[in-house]
Amino acid sequence: MPLATLTLPLRGTIILPGQIRALSVGRDATLDVVERHLDTQKLLVLVPQEDAAEEEPLRARLLTVGTAARILHVTRLPDDTVKILVEGDRRVLRRTELKLTGEVLVADYDELPAPPREQLHEIMAMARELAVLHDELAAAQGLTAEENDVLTAGEDEPDRLADQVSASLILSWEQRVVVYQEASLMERLRVLLDLTAVAVAQQRVQSDVAAKLQASMDQNQREYHLKEQLKILRTELGDAAGPEAEADAFEARIKELKLPEEVEKEALREVSRLRRISSDSAEYNIARTWLETVCDMPWNKLTQDDTSLRHAQDVLDEDHFGIEKVKERVLEYLAVRQLRKDAQGAILCFVGAPGVGKTSLGKSIARAMGRSYARVSLGGIKDESEVRGHRRTYVGAMPGRIVQALIRAGTRNPVIVLDEIDKVGNDFRGDPASALLEVLDPEQNKAFVDHYLDVPIDLSQVMFIATANLVDPIPPALHDRFEIIEIPGYTEEEKLAIANRFLLPKLAEEHGLPGGRMKFGPGAMESVIRNYTREAGLRNFSRQLASVCRKVAREVVEGREGAVRITPRAVEKMLGPPRFFNEIDDRDDLPGVVVGLAWTESGGDILFIECLRMPGAPALKLTGSLGDVMKESAEAALSWLRAHANEVGATQEDFNQLFHLHVPAGAIPKDGPSAGVSMVTALASRITGRPVRPRFAMTGEITLRGKVLPIGGLKEKVLAARRAGVTDVLLPKHNEKDLAELPAEVRKAMTFHLAETIQDVLRIALVP
């Protein structure tokens, strides 16, 4: 039934049925309501304001739903405020507009209607679900099941259950207003179900996070206690090496090394980072390895250069026989260093055939200067990171080969040999030769940055020496930084001297034959050189001598007494049939056969050029795996002979046939212009029927004008001719100056003929 009653506006507070709350009343309008209620004992309705910030209750917008309540107790305070204790009885719905009577608000209210019968089953089901969710929420908040049963209504009291659930949820003012003023019980339960489900989900997440946090804290505390126990145990055992101790050791070592300012700053920053990382972390090992590399670098270690020219000469002569040009260049470098300590010499690049001693020469230079030595093998590398190092972010990162060489050398001014620099390749991983440009440039390598260390490194005091078999594969920009010194092959006399002074004593010691247990007789060593090796260097020669030493060692073990004397016949017995023979002696002295000279990566070599003439259509057939340049030389030779047929004693009819030029060893590719004089001589010899002089070889390029042009690799070619038994060599006139580079014994043993024109070639080479 309708109730006309006093209305008490509430600001920011909601009183639910069944709740007992203490309220402070201080606003004039609300004090008047309380006084009127105490005087008349009329029913009091507590209605919340929509806007909790409104100070004036008579101007505030009030909800349409309120709570009929009784005042249980009133306490008047000295500051003219009143504290009342109220108890909510039931919800009521305002039926009329609020009226101001005197200084109080009055309105008519109705009790909320009971839910329809058809909604009761759904309401009870929703109440059961809400009770289950609320039980879970209460348990998560710390209430026991017994406490929750006493404090919370059951599912059979859905209205009271809804009020108690809404009171226990943590909601915003707007959410509380929405729940409170919902007149329909079913809708109120639906809203509370949604809000309670969200609260339960949040509570589950918070519980999971709290559980994980607690587990993590327990684990960290356990690790802390274990580490402290481990530290105590290590101390008791005399082993105080742990993460903290390692960081302290690195810090002390860094300060003791007196690193460059920038390097020290970065290293100390890494030590500070090391202290914060767990020793079980992968980052810990990365930081530790980096610090070890920095501390191993020879930042301030220098060796004093020994610039004594006499000492250097003695060391070079002791280690190497011959190669006077190289020794002279090293002595010049030392002389400049003696006059000026900070002189930046050129970067030497030794170019020569395999086995001539390029790499060992770098080691001898280091010993002559009193410097440490390191070797960097560049053959076949294609990754730029091999030179500059890998970034620390990569798995298995390590410094580049330059930094590794410095660490091995142990000083900042070693001699570093860049071996096989002509074998450097490039692919999608970068060009190592480009990275070497910075390393080998004195203007840039003062602050070389390795990607792994990522700090500047001074390479200006390092003496770099490069080695290569060929000059052509070296990139032009890199070639420009080198002073090329060519190391030619050895003569037979030089090989004999090297074998007696260096190789044989070393091999005898390695094979357990000291004290003269093995002696080479006259001609034995020469037999090994001529019949079993044919190379510019010494490697294969050393292998053959080692094979002889093994045979002798076996004889000694089997009971051979006294010294074993090696004769040419014994050499053949030990090493088998000769592998090489004198092709000059075996060739037929027939017209059309000429001995030419060629240059190869392994030094010089001889090649035979054979010519046949047969009936057929006029043509020139070329075989022997010849390159384009060599084919063009043959065509030029035939054209010149046809144009000068009368001068060589031939007629035009002599050229109306098929000529076949062949260069034996057809499986080996051959190319180059220096076979021009050999081809024109072979054709002229076949046409005129005049054979070439015996033991005669030649080299030179020809032109259609009949000129003989100079060639390269003269020393290698002449030495190859001598090894083959040639006594006379025809050379271009312009190569006369190069004869000074030949060893004196070669110039003495051989006769050299100089030619300017093809007429000179034919006059000198062909038998009259």
The pLDDT tens digits for 269-278 are 888 888 777 7
**717 has catalytic annotation:** yes
Domain end position, chosen among 487, 514, 544: 487
Task: Report the distance separating Cα 643 and Cα 652, nearest Å.
Answer: 9
Residue 731's pLDDT band, with cuts at 50, 70 and 90, is: very high
Domain count, the chain: 6
Q: Which pLDDT band holds residue 242 (cuts at 50, 70, 90)?
A: low
For residue 77, give the CATH number of its domain: 2.30.130.40
* Catalytic residue selected from 495, 551, 670, 717: 717
* CATH code of the domain in which 183 resides: 1.20.58
386 and 270 in a common domain: no
Same domain, 480 and 543: no
- 531 domain residue, yes or no: yes
* Same domain flag for 476 and 417: yes
DSSP of 540-555, one letter per residue?
Answer: HHHHHHHHHHHHHHHH
CA distance 482 to 329: 13
Domain assignment present for residue 234? The answer is: no
Binning pLDDT at 50, 70 and 90, where does residue 1 land? very low
Is the pLDDT at 657 greater than 60, yes or no?
A: yes
The token pair at 531 is 């019949």
Phi-psi region of 311 (alpha: psi -120 to 50; beta: other; left: phi over 0): alpha
State whether 314 and 431 are in the same domain. yes
CATH at residue 557: 1.10.8.60
> Has residue 355 been placed in a domain?
yes
The whole-number average pLDDT for the span 410-424 is 86
195 residue type, one letter: L
Q: Residues 355-365: pLDDT tens digits? A: 777 888 888 88
pLDDT at 230 over 70: no
Told to judge if 446 belongs to the known catalytic residues of this protein, a careful annotator would answer no
pLDDT digits (tens, 9 = 90+) for 120-158: 888 888 888 888 887 877 777 666 555 444 445 566 678
Gap between the Cα atoms of 439 and 454, Å rounded: 15
Element containing residue 190 per DSSP (H, E): helix 185-237
- Backbone conformation region of residue 512, classed left if phi is above 0, alpha if psi is from -120 to 50, else beta: left
Residues 610 and 749 in one domain: yes
* Tens digits of residue pLDDT in 582-635: 666 656 577 888 988 887 766 678 888 989 988 888 888 989 888 888 889 999
CA angle, residues 476, 477, 481, in degrees to nearest 5:
105
Report if residue 230 sits inside a domain.
no
Q: Which domain holds residue 180?
A: 117-202
Do 123 and 94 fall into the same domain? no
pLDDT at 150: 42
| pLDDT tens track for 477-489 | 888 888 888 887 7
Q: Determine the pLDDT at residue 617.
A: 85
- Look at residue 732 in the predicted model and tell me its pLDDT: 93
**Interhelix angle 243-257/282-296, nearest 10 degrees:** 20
Question: Which stretch of 27-36, 162-171, 330-339, 416-425 has the lowest confidence by average pLDDT?
Answer: 27-36
The H or E element spanning position 612 is: strand 603-614
Least confident of 374-378, 423-427, 736-740, 763-767: 423-427
Is residue 495 within 8 Å of 541, Cβ to Cβ?
Answer: yes
Q: Which of 234, 261, 296 is the last residue of a domain?
A: 296
Residue 127 CB burial class (10 angstroms; 0-12, 13-18, ≥19): buried
pTM for the complete prediction? Answer: 0.59
Do 13 and 55 fall within a single domain? Answer: yes
Percentage of the chain exceeding pLDDT 90: 4
The contacts found for 255-264 with CB under 8 angstroms, 24 or more apart, are 257/295, 257/299, 257/300, 258/299, 258/300, 259/294, 259/299, 259/300, 260/299, 260/455, 260/456, 262/455, 262/456, 263/294, 263/299, 263/455, 263/456
What are the tens digits of pLDDT across the range 276-315? Answer: 777 777 788 888 888 888 888 888 888 887 778 888 888 8
Mean pLDDT for 659-665 is 88
Instruction: State the pLDDT at residue 699.
Output: 92
Which residue, 727, 724, 767, 760, is CA-closest to 746?
A: 727
User: What b/e sequence results for 571-580 when a residue is b if at least 16 CB atoms lie within 10 Å of its CB, and e otherwise?
Assistant: bbebbeeeee
Summarize the confidence of residues 737-758 as an average pLDDT: 87
* pLDDT exceeds 50 at position 336: yes
The verdict on residue 735 lying in a domain is: yes
- Over residues 546-560, the pLDDT tens digits come to 888 888 888 888 877
* Mean pLDDT value of segment 438-452: 81
Q: Which of 532, 557, 575 is the last residue of a domain?
A: 575
For the cut 80, the answer to whether the pLDDT of residue 234 exceeds it is no
Residue 209 lies in a domain: no
CATH of residue 758's domain is 3.30.230.10
Q: 219 pLDDT band (50/70/90 cuts)?
A: confident
Could you say which of 166, 674, 678, 685 is catalytic? 674
Measure the CA–CA gap between 105 and 101, rounded to whole angstroms. 6
Within this chain, do residues 753 and 622 fall inside the same structural domain, yes or no? yes
- Contact in structure between 682 and 663 (CB atoms under 8 Å): no
Question: Amino acid letter at 305?
Answer: D
**Pair (342, 440) in one structural domain:** yes
Give the per-residue pLDDT at 92. 87
Token representation of residue 723: 């090894």
- Ordered DSSP codes for 447-484: GEE-TTT-SEE--TT-EEEEEES-STTS-HHHHTTEEE
Region 450-459 average pLDDT: 84
Which is higher by pLDDT, 753 or 130?
753
What does the pLDDT read at residue 740? 84
Same domain flag for 257 and 136: no
Highest mean pLDDT among 462-466, 489-493, 518-522, 679-683: 679-683
pLDDT value at 239 more than 70: no
Contact 439, 451 (CB under 8 A): no
The answer to whether the CB of 491 falls within 8 A of the CB of 722 is: yes
Tell me, yes or no, whether 96 lies in a domain.
Answer: yes
Residue 290 lies inside a defined structural domain of this protein = yes
Going by pLDDT thresholds of 50, 70 and 90, the confidence category of residue 76 is confident
Rank 328-342, 714-728, 744-758 by mean pLDDT and report only the highest.
Answer: 744-758
Predicted pLDDT at 730: 92
Residues 341 and 437 in one domain: yes
**Residues 614 and 759 grouped into a single domain:** yes
What average pLDDT does the structure give for the chain?
Answer: 81
